[in-house]
Amino acid sequence: MQAAPVTPLRTSTIRPAAWPSVTGALRAVESVLMRSGQRTARRNAWASVLEDRRRAQDRVETQAVLEAAAAPGSQTS
């Protein structure tokens, strides 16, 4: 009886994984160091900060429009 022919193993090219983004790396560290409740609280706090910044910018823009409309010689119809 003859042995079955041995086929050589194919070696695939191993590509290094893409480097994680800074955000991804920070989230990975965060997940190790913080409990899920703490992560949620931090993310909620940051979302509140961003919303406050957006509202502040809206107030600045609205104030500029109101001052322009109240200025002498403004065209109001």
Report field, pTM of the whole predicted structure over 0.75: no
31 contacts 39 by C-beta, under 8 angstroms: yes
The span from the CA of 61 to the CA of 56, in Å, is 9
**What does the pLDDT average to over 5-24?**
68
Q: Identify the pLDDT of residue 46.
A: 95
Q: Identify the pLDDT of residue 54.
A: 97
The residues, ordered by sequence, that sit 6+ positions from 76 with a Cβ below 8 Å of its Cβ are 69
**What does the pLDDT average to over 24-36?**
80
Q: Identify the pLDDT of residue 74.
A: 66
Q: Round the average pLDDT of the chain to a whole number and report it.
A: 81
- The answer to whether the Cα torsion of 22, 28, 29, 30 is positive or negative is positive
In single-letter form, the type of residue at position 60 comes to: V
